[in-house]
Structure 1
């Protein structure tokens, strides 16, 4: 690890050497850990990072949980990690977007991240003097990638003091790594007069509204968007608004169904244990089920997920998984879940439910029931009800008709 750079949150700051000393001291307390997966949860972000790098230094594999979780979700993560072992040579575990209380864990080597550092640094113009503002919660692989890169390359990291970007966080930031929704909030702050030194932004996790790129350019902030996934890491980037093109070390192809497959040094090793998910590998090629088109110039156009997954706040929500949970709620006969565009950049998880004839639950009641059943990004934000959800000829919910009815204002929204 480098001795330069610092990590800060609010008024708390650890210089590089102090951070390394704290990591070494904590690692000595841990002793040898082997390839055990160690869950970490604390509202103190700096302490969480010290703990994570200490686990790494002592031979373990850290995974940072979300301090906003219900206690049952945290216990589930602990039990999951306790029951798993990992092959040698792996360094990081991150949580995927599994919907229910038992999270999916992705395992990866250090090289699967570090091999992309030079390209990311070049695209953003990172130097040892750079300060990267990182408003995404540490539970996200986006955050842990950026922090691991900073410890390798020597630049500094500023973490948010609140749950959302604030003007006070931006004063010394030269770069930002965020989702489109968070980046839009940052642009709002800058346009409202927040002091900053931002020169470039790395934006991923969902599609970026071109209007945000134009707003950023007017403020002197160069934007690099990218497509990737927790399982695939970086796949393609767009640094000028002309479209996504693959990173230099990434190969891409489409199968007969239009699903995108990639081969690169950035791929994760897979899910921990016998967990199932969208990540599939075949002879060195991998996919998460995203549909795409590739033009003659090699540029990618994403066309959504083959499984209809929703991208929201950097998470991937599989509608069928949320629907299965909703159908376990007494009084809900059927449910359809889809993504509703929010400000043209991100999606809100939206649920349309059909109740039993003698049942009518309110949105607050439904949200309360989802607190212990679904991970935070997967809980529906918008709730609607239909007297009868239409079915296809095969007896499945007619998703397109339901979505169209909501868009046309034909479906009543449940009170908030």
Structure 2
């Protein structure tokens, strides 16, 4: 069910070691686990994490995977049926343990493989840490396919990654890469154009640790419900019902809501056409209320990321005595790009209320360990001045 490769085919190349499916299965069988309870597979060593993970799974034990650099409080006993407790990435500043059943992931393996065109002959690149569910799912999906998982992205024919990592990969013009599965943030238009020009097919999906897959699109097609998912829009907030939804949080509260009919939401705002085309606008707690208008940070970031020379963008709101809040943009720019140029281009695409009032350039954008922009850290760095090493430019 979990490892479907031919015994002598390469299963993974991690930490300088290549193991066949037979060798990996032997290591799993030899590994000793604690006598009882959940198994903590959190580690900076991906081979160690995966060996612990599969050893626990084969023995019917729940697994906990969190960022080893940021210890979490002791996790309560997970609910019955739990195979994995994954701790959310914390891009919102509040990592939370989320429990899920095995079927909530395995039921999506075949639909994803079909949508992305992934197959057992692929070599799939591991592009980030396994405490991120994007990368953990990608690794487990690869081994379910019977494909080869590797840290050597130059050898990869497919990858699971966030947009910023894809941008970096495309800059190297990878000769073998033919397919990329992308999530974690909106995919900028200039990245899709570059990938298409290099002959790389893209599958972009929207989901959350709590919900798993919600919607996907084969670029350039529009985003639609992922197979097996029902979508419902309620007062602009996206709800979904599917077999992929998690069991919920363990010992903490969070944004996940589940109604009596099994529809769930994490509070993301969206638009849904009568044809089923979906546009996700971002978390409702990222809304900036300015001068009586509501500006969604992700909408502005998407526009800024589409502009030449913008490598990374974060948009936050800051208190203002008259307007309530003002929109502030923080940008990481290419060396030949300046804020004045970006600001002039942004004026052509953004409504007046969405146009940032202050612009800051930074040498390095604060990110989570998985490569996503950490908007909470950006807002904190603006508030205490630690992020602002250059004078602001006002619109």
Is this a same-fold pair by TM over 0.5? yes
8 Å CA contact 1:180–1:346 kept in 2: the answer is no
**Is residue 146 of structure 2 the alignment partner of residue 151 of structure 1?**
no
Tell me the residue number matched to 1:380.
Answer: 377
In structure 1, the residue matched to 2:358 is none
Q: Check 1:212–1:116 CA distance in 2 against 1; reply closer, same or farther (3 A cut).
A: same
Matched residue of 2:213: which SS?
Answer: strand
Note closer, same or farther for the CA distance 1:101–1:212 as it changes in structure 2 (3 Å cut). Answer: closer
Cα displacement (A) at 1:21: 1.1
- 1:367 aligns with none
Tell me what 1:263 maps to. 241
TM (normalized to structure 2)?
0.73
2:18 aligned residue? 13
Aligned residue in 1 for 2:79 = 87
Residue in structure 1 matched with residue 33 of structure 2 by the alignment: 30
Aligned to 2:349: none
Pick the aligned partner of 2:159 from 151, 176, 197. 176
Give the whole-Å Cα distance in 2 for the aligned partners of 1:249 and 1:272: 26
What is the distance in 2 between the residues matched to 1:25 and 1:386? 51
Counterpart in the other structure of 2:342: none
| CA RMSD in angstroms, aligned pairs only | 3.4
**Distance of 1:407 and 1:294 partners within structure 2:** 41
1:300 aligned to 2:281? no
Residue 328 of structure 1 corresponds to none
> After the TM superposition, which residues 27-66 of structure 1 pair with which residues of structure 2 at under 5 Å, given as runs?
29-30=32-33, 33=36, 36-66=37-67
Contact 2:86 2:131 in 1 (8 A): yes
Distance in 2 separating the partners of 1:228 and 1:176? 17
Aligned mates of 2:41, 2:198 — CA distance in 1: 38
Say if 2:113 is the partner of 1:121. yes
Deviation (angstroms), 1:241: 1.5
How far did residue 51 of structure 1 move?
Answer: 1.5
Which position in structure 1 is the counterpart of 2:346?
none
Residue number in structure 1 paired with 2:191: 212
Contact 1:228-1:236 at 8 Å conserved across structures:
yes
Q: 1:37 to 1:376 in 2, by over 3 A?
A: farther
- Residue in structure 2 matched with residue 112 of structure 1 by the alignment: 104
- Give CA-to-partner distance per residue, 1:291-346, whole Å, 9 cap, x none: 1111121110112222217xxxxxxxxx9xxxxxxxxxxxxxxxxxx778474486
Matched, 1:189 2:172: yes
Post-superposition CA distance 1:21-74 (Å, at most 9, x none): 111111xx22653xx33333333221121122222223222222324x2xxx42
Distance 1:18 1:261, change over 3 A: same
Structure 2 vs 1, CA of residues 292 and 408 (structure 1 numbering), >3 Å: closer, same or farther?
farther
Q: Give the match for residue 394 of structure 2.
A: 410
Corresponding residue of 1:230: 209
Unaligned runs of 5+ in 2: 289-296, 321-367
* Alpha-carbon separation, structure 2, partners of 1:254 and 1:207: 20
1:357 is matched with which residue?
none
Contact 2:11 2:149 in 1 (8 A): yes
Q: Does 1:277 align with 2:254?
A: yes
Deviation at 1:347, TM superposition (A): 4.6
**1:408–1:245: structure 2 CA closer, same or farther, 3 Å change rule?**
farther
Contact 1:350 1:380 in 2 (8 A): no
Long gaps (5+) in structure 1? 160-168, 310-318, 320-337, 355-370, 388-405, 412-416
In the alignment, the residues of structure 1 paired with residue 200 and residue 188 of structure 2 have an alpha-carbon distance, to the nearest angstrom, of: 15
CA contact (8 A) 1:30 1:55 kept: yes
TM-score by length of 1: 0.69
Q: CA deviation at 1:235?
A: 1.0
Indicate conservation of the 8 Å contact 1:31/1:58, yes or no: no
Per-residue displacement from partner, 1:109-129 (whole Å, max 9, x unpaired)? 111111111111112222211
